[in-house]
Each structure stands twice: as C-alpha cells, then as structure tokens.
Amino acid sequence: MRRILIFLVLVFGFSFALAHSGDLYLLSIDSPDALRAATKIVPHAHGTLDGRFIVALDLSQAAALRNSGLSPELVASDFNPEDYYLVSELRPGLARKEKPYGAIYVSGGNYIARLTPSELSVVGKEAVTVTLIGSKVTPLFYQPAVIAAQQPADFPMDTLANLIVQDSLYNYDTRLEAFRTRYIYSDSVIPARNWLVNKFRSFGYNINDVYTDTFYFNGYPCNNVICIKPGTTEADRLIVIGAHYDSYNQDSDPLTYAPGADDNASGTAAVLEMARILKNVQLKKTIMFVAFSAEEVGLVGSYVIAQRLYQQGVNVECMLNFDMIGYTADAYPNMNIFSGNFRGYADLLAGAYPRVTDLIPNYAGQASNSDHASFADFGFHVAFVEEGDFNTAGWHTNLDLSTRMDFPYFAKMVKGMAASLGQIDQAASITAIDHLYDVGDGQSIQVTWTTDCRTDYTYKILYGTSSGNYTDTVDVPPLTCAFDVTGLTEGQVYYFSVMGINGDGYGPAYLLEVPGETYINPRVPSGFAADPDSARIDLHWHRNQELDIDHYHILRRDSVSNWSVLKDTWLDTVYADTTAHPHIAYRYAVMAVDHDNNESDTSLVATAVAATFDGGLLFVDETAAGGINPSETKQAAYYDSIMTGVGFTKYSIGTGQQMTRSIAGQYNSIVWVDDDVSGHLFGSSEDSMKWYLNYDVNLFLAGWQTVSWISGSQPLVPGDFPYDYLGLTQVTENTAFDFNGATGVNGWPSVQVGTNNPFGGVLSNVAKFQTLPGAQVIYTYNSQSGNPSFQGQPAGVIYTVGNSTRIALSFPIYYLTEATGQALMSKVAEIFGVSGPAELYGDVNGDKTLNILDVAYLINYLYKSGPAPGNINNADPNHSCTANILDVAYLINYLYKGGPTPLAGCIQ
C-alpha cells in the first residue's frame, strides 16, 4: 500500500502546473449534454471522489456551470493545490477518527483534507493513503448507467483456479523480499525490475511483449514492468491485471531495508502467477500484466499507464488490482473487494471466489487506496482485492515479512481472481448504444450501436419504463446494428440496453443503459449560441436527433423590432448573419421543423453584437475594492489621473463576470488592470481574449499576480495562453516584499512604487519573466534587497504577432506613483495608436464617466421635462435612433448586469 505523497511535484514525462486555482468543488456529470457543457468551462479534473469530479473553479467558472444547468458543490474556498489531499482508508473503519485530521469533506472511507506539514506527517503513519490533489490532472467524462447483466448458466473457465500453485507464489514472494528493499530511490529496485522482466520472459512470452515503461518521479527514473498476452477473437478489448512492486518502510531507512513481503510482493507474485498459468491458455481478449512502480509515493506508475491508455483510446474492459493479499490474523477466511463508481466487476469477483475457494468476500465500497484508483480516475471500470485482516503490524514496517504470511490463504486469493478473469474473458464484449433517434411518430425510437457492432454476435434490445427493469426484449435480426423499437407511448421515458451474445452463447458482464423518449413534435434545438465575428454574427446549435427533421427557422430581433424570420428552411446547424449592422445588439432563436411541418418551441435566446474593432481603447478595471484594497473612489481617481489625455471607455468586471466577445469586439485596444491581491478573473475570460487576439488588436495586461495566476510556476508550453499570446515561457514569483519599481528599457519610462499605500514602497509576489525569442523586454525588475535571482530580470514584455501588439507586466499599476503611472500609460497609448479623449457613448450628463447619474439624467429628460443632453446621441446608447425607456434599460444593464457597451447614437 502506498504511503504519503512526498511534498514534491511529480514529473511523468509531461508537466502540469500547480497554479492558483480558485475554489475546490465536486462536480457530477450525468449526461452527454452535461459533459459537453462542463468541458467548455473546466479543462480537467483533479481525480474523482465517489463518482464525482474534484475540480478547481474560479467564481466565474462556477457561475457558468450553474448557468449551464450543472450543480457544483463547494468544498473549500481559496484552494491551494499544494495544501489539499485526498485521503483514503486502507480498510473500512481501520483508521476512522471522530474528526479526521484536516478533514473538510468526508464520504465514507474517503475524505478531502487540508493538511499542514505536521499533520501530513501524522496522517502518513496511519492506515490511510494520501494523494496530493493538485498532482492529478484527469479528464472529465460521462459514463452511461451501468446495469449488472444476468450471470451465465455455467463457468467452464473456473478450472483456471486449479492451475495456481502455492509454491510458485511462495518462491516469487520470497525472492522479491530478498532484495531487502524495492523503494524507488534504492539501488535494489533496479535488480528487482530486471528480475521481473526475466521472470515474465521465462514463462515463454515473446521478448517484445515484455518491456519496461520508464517515467520520472521528482526527476528520478522509475520503471513499470509490462507483459502483454495478445487476445484472439476480441484482441481489441484489454484487461489490465496489476500490482505495485515498490516497497516502503517507516521503521527503518527504506533505502536499505523495506522488505514489503505483503505490501506488495504478494500482489506482484499474484500477477506473475496469473501470467504463468495463462501463457498457453487461449483467451479472446488481450491481457496486460503490469508490475507498477512508485505506488508508495502517489500511485504514480499506474497513473502514467492509465493516462496513456485513455489518451490512445484503448478499449479497456477493466482493471483488476492486487494489493496486500497474503496475511491473516485468524481462521475466519474473509477478504475485501473494492470498486470504482461501478461495482459490477466487484460483484463478479464476489460471485467467483465462493465457487473456487472457501473465502468470504466483503464488498468494501469505493476507495482511492491503491493503483486501481488511477484507472477509475480516467473512467475505466476497476476491482481491487485485499486481505480481510489488514496487516497493521507489517504495513510499512520491518515486520512485513513472508514468515508472517499465510500462503494457503494467499493462494486462494489468486485462485478466485483466476476464475474471475476466465469469466470476464468468456463474456461477450460490452455494447454501447451510439444513439437513440426519435423516429418522430410519437411511438418509435431507433436504437443504433454501430461502434461496438460485431458481425459474429447476435443482439437483443432490452427496454422498460424504469432503470434496470427491462420488461420487453427484441431479438435483432443477424448483421443488424440499428433497429426501430415501436409501440411506445409518447412522452414516456424508456430505458434501453443492447446485449451482445458471442458465438459461445455468453452475454456481457454488464449492460450500458441509455434513456429515451419519442414525440410527434420536434424537440427544441439545444446548445444554441451566437458568437460575434468580424462584421458578422455566427450562430450554431446541436443537430436534432429526430429522424424526421426537415429544416430550421432562424429568428432575429433588435432592441426595437419584433421577432422576424431571418432565414427559413435552413438545413445546416451553423449560420453566419452577415446582415447584422454594427453596434447593434441582436437577439436570435431557432426552431426545428419536421417533414410534416410540425414545429418545435423556440430555443433559448442568444444575444450578440457584430465585431467592428473600431471603438478605440477599452479600460477594463478588475480591481476589487474593500479590505486591504483601495476604495472604488480612490481607484477611479487614480486611473483617471494616469489616463489623462488618453481617450478610453471604462468597463468594470467583478466576481462572476466575464469579458464577452460582444464587448471586446467593439474595441481595437484593451487595457486590463487587476491590481488587487486576490480574486483574479482574467482566466475566466481567456476564451474571449484568445478570440479577440486573433485579430489586428492590442492588449495590455497588468496586475498583482495576474500573469502568474494564469501561468502557474511550471514552464509554459504551446497551448498555454501566456506562451501563445504573451510570448512567455515561465513566470516565477518573488514572494518577499522586495519589488520597488521597474527600469524601462527600449524607450519605455521607468516606474516607481509609491510610498503612500499599506505596503510602503515595496510589493510582494511580483514575478520575473522568461520569454520567447520574439518577445521584447520593456521593463526589468528593481529589487530593494538586490536579490540576484530577480534584480534586472524581465518584468514587462511587448510581443507582436502580425498587426497585434500585446504588453504584459508582472506588477500592479495602482501602487505606482501617479507620475510614473501616467508616463507608462502615455507610452501604451502611443504604441497602441490611441489619441485624445474619445466620445463616451451613453454619457448623457456629459461628465465624462458612466454611472447611475446618467440613468437619472435620462429619466429626468424623458419623463420629467429635464434638460436635454448636450449631445442628444448619447441618449440613444442602444443605437435605435430614438431615445426611450429601452435606452434607460440598456444603460442599467451595462452598468450593473454586465450587458453590452453603450453604442454611438443615431438620433441626429
């Protein structure tokens, strides 16, 4: 079993960044639509807990998920990936405390904890495993409902259990023990690895089918040992049988002594014995036998293989894991079986063990306590067997010896797995339903399973009106991969599974279930969205799944017009509206129409403004107020002062808000300042900013930790926003209060931190940059202490791509002296080609700013005979060419609800 994860970032031949990540949530994904919505917002998870994904979200991402119909559950605020751990009991109840150390979320034998170094040291000595949450980068995925299939009438492959030899297990186990230690940093782990390779090959496996898989932990090479047994008729299906061979000892120096006879020479011996007995047994499916390395330091070796199998799209039937299977404390022959989110294979094992042994299986639930958890995190089905009496005295001690093990019991643990493997191999492959298509007649659904369809199988469709309770069965004609199920009731939810039966007459180990309904009228088109593009608005939506859909109606309106048909009889699911006028917010909807001219209801409304990139400079203020941060009044005064002589439109972004394409697309330059000490929101607008920067536009980005927040501390690579769009290769923070200014180079004015602020004349957490060759340094770091790691290092860059200029600074603007701040912004305006003050659209009262006073002035003018605006066009911020209550609503929406920017009026 694995020990505590050492306080080091893992390196597996790829990199990930422990960046600042907002808050920690648990997220359920229960449908393909939910997965599509989630993956647009959340790039990855940090593993799973009881079937839910552990995700780090900022407030904008959490709000976006909720707006998409998902319900993330908050676990912890201000999540730091280096402080939070997933803790799992090695055996249910063994390490249970009334209040586990640092626990912030408990679910059965698993919990999420925030641990200090001292707590981490204590927890690591208990009967638990501990994994650093930030070290896991795993995908989001959707798993259809999984239903256990009916057990077969006979089990001819149970005879495999008779091939297991106790003496073989003893010899393997004691030989591994004889290495004295298999700790990953020890000299002995290399001879142990070589012995495993030679032992697999001694069974007669092809030399090319036995190999080592090298990865790196903390810069140190580690090796999984892999042996492949190719399948015959279903070689594309893979069964992984694994156990870790590394060991650990907390009683002695593990570099010299960590015998690990039970943990986990026993599991490794079981894998070897399974490989030996199966060498000359003809199996349908391919078997991967694996001896994992680096389990004891974080399930690392299994993570590497699970990730690779996932990325390569390998069809993994299941992963079967051995860990600590050779110890008993009494004569009661119990054993534990763990699973992932789906317990079907655990149930299969629980049925097999009593058939061939006298062992009594106990289903111990889901757990993250061994290598099976890595596979479960990537969506693979798993089962894990463990001794019933946990070897507490031997776990990670000098007493983990073969002399304390029960080898007859040990042999039974392997016999049961051999019988289970035979049943899994004998079973038909699982059949996933590709689609349920509504025929459109209110009584029929077409079921298709083309991806998993096999010409040597026969198929049955099982269905009913409650999950897992199939009241009807359809025998599908041979060589058929799609079939219409008829006689259904309109609007009733039915649950469908497809069962394949192989040539030997065996069905699958489990069924995949998909719900569906049938209607006469088309469903409302889903996923409808409107995205600005240059001089047009692009519409797109998901294609309806009904078979009788004929075309779509596209509807449009602006702020003053009624709905009208923009495009009739449109056949595609994308449309470019090139008739959209500039600076006007259009609303769109779409309807589906079938062959009988039945229409769906309208979709959700989507709003967008065509991009023109002609509105000058947009000043985005993301600086929060309150606490240690300056008040809104002080911020406004400072920013107005340093922008003197520069024309700009101001736009504030707060918690839960994002920069939209409709807003960004109205301007040819954006200055984004984020000068507070927390709550960095730029990352939630990355998608819009990537789109924006693909045009001939300019971006200035500065703030306190803003760039480092989206970069993390690891080297940046193509695909990372700072690398692709800012020309940065790494961002490294100085956490000390040491930054007192920056020296301008290449014609840029130097800047100085002012002394009239809570931090005096120095700031902490200001970073240095490493840059791509095309990025030009414009500022270098001034270190008050003269720290040679930061003094004179790049702190500001300008990066030009085509006609697009991007400027990034590692320091905040607000805390600079006004004089140097104004000099800086004047230089930015010069580079961006921004001239004097521009017309501030919507500035009804003419005070050169937009606020509630403009709303009051407009209401007073429209309804209380108040004075007319100095520029009457500013009373028309929605560009409708008339001033009315809709303009009042438009201003309020912009000021307080993140609505579109006021536009140039056209009254005169």
pLDDT value, residue 101: 64
- The answer, yes or no, to whether residue 661 has pLDDT greater than 70, is yes
- From CA 286, how far away is CA 239, in angstroms rounded? 6
- Locate tokens 């029929």: which residue? 444
Best mean pLDDT range from 8-22, 30-44, 727-741, 843-857: 727-741
What's the first-to-final CA gap in the chain, in angstroms?
78
- From CA 548, how far away is CA 437, in angstroms rounded? 10
- The answer, yes or no, to whether residue 629 has pLDDT greater than 90, is no
Give the DSSP H or E segment for 474.
Answer: strand 472-475
- Locate tokens 């505590």: which residue? 4
User: Other C-beta atoms within 10 Å of 640: how many?
Assistant: 14
pLDDT value, residue 57: 87
Tell me the per-residue pLDDT of 8-37, one tens digit each, with 9 for 90 and over: 223 333 333 334 457 899 999 988 889 988
The torsion angle over the Cα atoms of residues 815, 820, 826 and 827, rounded to 10 degrees, is -100
Q: What is the DSSP string of 37-70?
A: HHHTT---BS-EETTEEEEEE-HHHHHHHHHTT-
pLDDT value, residue 292: 98
- From CA 245, how far away is CA 193, in angstroms rounded? 9
Angle between helices 885-897 and 852-863 (to 10 degrees): 170
Q: Which residue has better confidence, 412 or 876?
A: 412
- From CA 166, how far away is CA 174, in angstroms rounded? 12
Inter-CA distances, 419 with 155, 409, 617, Å:
8, 16, 71
Radius of gyration of the chain (CA): 32
Residue 421: partners with Cβ closer than 8 Å, 6 or more residues away: 157, 160, 239, 241, 274, 278, 287, 320
Q: Which residue has better confidence, 744 or 67?
A: 744
Residue type, 424: I
pLDDT value, residue 312: 93
Structure tokens at 327: 């110890």
691 and 658 Cβ atoms separated by less than 8 Å: no
457 and 233 Cβ atoms separated by less than 8 Å: no
pLDDT value, residue 18: 39
Residue type, 188: S
**Measuring CA to CA, which residue among 31, 36, 26 is closest to residue 57?**
26
Overall CATH class of domain 154-426: alpha beta
- From CA 143, how far away is CA 165, in angstroms rounded? 38
116 and 166 Cβ atoms separated by less than 8 Å: no
The answer to whether the predicted template modeling score (pTM) of the entire model surpasses 0.75 is: no
Least confident of 277-291, 566-580, 646-660: 646-660
- From CA 543, how far away is CA 21, in angstroms rounded? 35
Residue 253: partners with Cβ closer than 8 Å, 6 or more residues away: none
- Locate tokens 């085509």: which residue? 802
Per-residue confidence at 812, pLDDT binned at 50, 70, 90? very high
From the options 3.30.160.110, 2.120.10.30, 2.60.40.2550, 2.60.40.10, give the CATH code of 529-609: 2.60.40.10
Residue 825: partners with Cβ closer than 8 Å, 6 or more residues away: 642, 643, 646, 671, 813
Q: Which residue has better confidence, 650 or 693?
A: 693
Average pLDDT rounded to a whole number, residues 815-842:
88
Per-residue confidence at 127, pLDDT binned at 50, 70, 90? low
Tell me the per-residue pLDDT of 201-257, one tens digit each, with 9 for 90 and over: 999 999 999 999 999 988 899 999 999 999 999 999 999 999 999 999 988 999 999
pLDDT value, residue 507: 94
350 and 94 Cβ atoms separated by less than 8 Å: no
Inter-CA distances, 179 with 222, 261, 403, 577, Å:
17, 10, 16, 72
- From CA 628, how far away is CA 245, in angstroms rounded? 52
pLDDT value, residue 91: 59
Q: 73: exposed, middle or buried (C-beta count within 10 Å: 0-12, 13-18, 19+)?
A: exposed
Structure tokens at 211: 């190999």
- From CA 23, how far away is CA 374, in angstroms rounded? 23
- Locate tokens 């006879």: which residue? 261
The 3-state secondary structure of 800-843, one letter per residue: EECCEEEEEECCCCCCECHHHHHHHHHHHHHHHCCCCCCCCCCC
Beta bridge partners of 315: 237
Per-residue confidence at 873, pLDDT binned at 50, 70, 90? confident
* Residue 877: φ, ψ to 5°: -70, -15
Tell me the per-residue pLDDT of 630-656, one tens digit each, with 9 for 90 and over: 888 888 899 999 998 898 888 888 776
pLDDT value, residue 838: 57
* Residue 265: φ, ψ to 5°: -60, -30
Neighbour order of strands in the sheet with 52-57 = 48-49, 52-57, 23-27, 73-76
Average pLDDT rounded to a whole number, residues 674-694:
87
Average pLDDT rounded to a whole number, residues 462-475:
96
pLDDT value, residue 908: 67
Helices (H), 367-452: 372-377, 407-426
Average pLDDT, the chain: 90
User: Other C-beta atoms within 10 Å of 162: how many?
Assistant: 12
Percentages helix, strand, coil for the chain (3-state, rounded to 5) are 25, 30, 45
pLDDT value, residue 555: 98
- From CA 45, how far away is CA 23, in angstroms rounded? 13
State percent of the chain over pLDDT 90: 67
Tell me the per-residue pLDDT of 538-572, one tens digit each, with 9 for 90 and over: 999 999 999 999 999 999 998 778 999 999 999 99
Question: Would you give the distance in Å from CA 30 to the centre of its chain?
Answer: 15
Question: Would you give the distance in Å from CA 806 to the centre of its chain?
Answer: 28
**Measuring CA to CA, which residue among 400, 496, 656 is closest to residue 147?**
496
**Measuring CA to CA, which residue among 781, 773, 777 is closest to residue 733?**
781
pLDDT value, residue 126: 65
pLDDT value, residue 557: 94
- What is the architecture, at CATH level 2, of domain 839-908? Orthogonal Bundle (1.10)
Helices (H), 366-493: 372-377, 407-426
- The answer, yes or no, to whether residue 880 has pLDDT greater than 90, is no
- The answer, yes or no, to whether residue 492 has pLDDT greater than 50, is yes
Neighbour order of strands in the sheet with 529-533 = 529-533, 536-540, 574-577
Per-residue confidence at 5, pLDDT binned at 50, 70, 90? very low
**Measuring CA to CA, which residue among 906, 907, 899, 819 is closest to residue 855?**
899
pLDDT value, residue 11: 34
Per-residue confidence at 120, pLDDT binned at 50, 70, 90? confident
pLDDT value, residue 119: 77
Q: Does 315 sit behind a cis peptide bond, omega within 30 degrees of 0 on the bond before it?
A: no
Per-residue confidence at 152, pLDDT binned at 50, 70, 90? confident
- Locate tokens 């390779």: which residue? 197
Structure tokens at 110: 């698993």
* 4 secondary structure, DSSP code: B
- From CA 87, how far away is CA 109, in angstroms rounded? 8
| Whether CATH 2.40.40.20 fits 617-832 | no
Q: What is the CATH number of domain 435-516?
A: 2.60.40.10
- From CA 611, how far away is CA 856, in angstroms rounded? 30
For the chain, the structural domain boundaries read 23-135, 154-426, 435-516, 529-609, 617-832, 839-908
Q: Does 110 sit behind a cis peptide bond, omega within 30 degrees of 0 on the bond before it?
A: no
- The answer, yes or no, to whether residue 124 has pLDDT greater than 80, is no
- The answer, yes or no, to whether residue 60 has pLDDT greater than 80, is no
- From CA 149, how far away is CA 502, in angstroms rounded? 14
State percent of the chain over pLDDT 70: 95
pLDDT value, residue 96: 45
Neighbour order of strands in the sheet with 698-703 = 649-652, 617-621, 669-674, 698-703, 804-809, 794-801, 776-783, 739-744, 751-752
**Measuring CA to CA, which residue among 793, 907, 755 is closest to residue 844?**
907
- From CA 539, how far away is CA 605, in angstroms rounded? 11
pLDDT value, residue 4: 27
623 and 654 Cβ atoms separated by less than 8 Å: no
Give the DSSP H or E segment for 292.
Answer: strand 285-292
- The answer, yes or no, to whether residue 512 has pLDDT greater than 70, is yes
Tell me the per-residue pLDDT of 368-396, one tens digit each, with 9 for 90 and over: 889 999 999 999 999 999 999 998 888 88
Angle between helices 166-177 and 189-202 (to 10 degrees): 160
User: Other C-beta atoms within 10 Å of 424: how many?
Assistant: 24
Per-residue confidence at 86, pLDDT binned at 50, 70, 90? confident
Check for a shared fold between 435-516 and 529-609. Answer: yes
- From CA 2, how far away is CA 131, in angstroms rounded? 9
Residue 643: partners with Cβ closer than 8 Å, 6 or more residues away: 619, 822, 825
172 and 199 Cβ atoms separated by less than 8 Å: yes
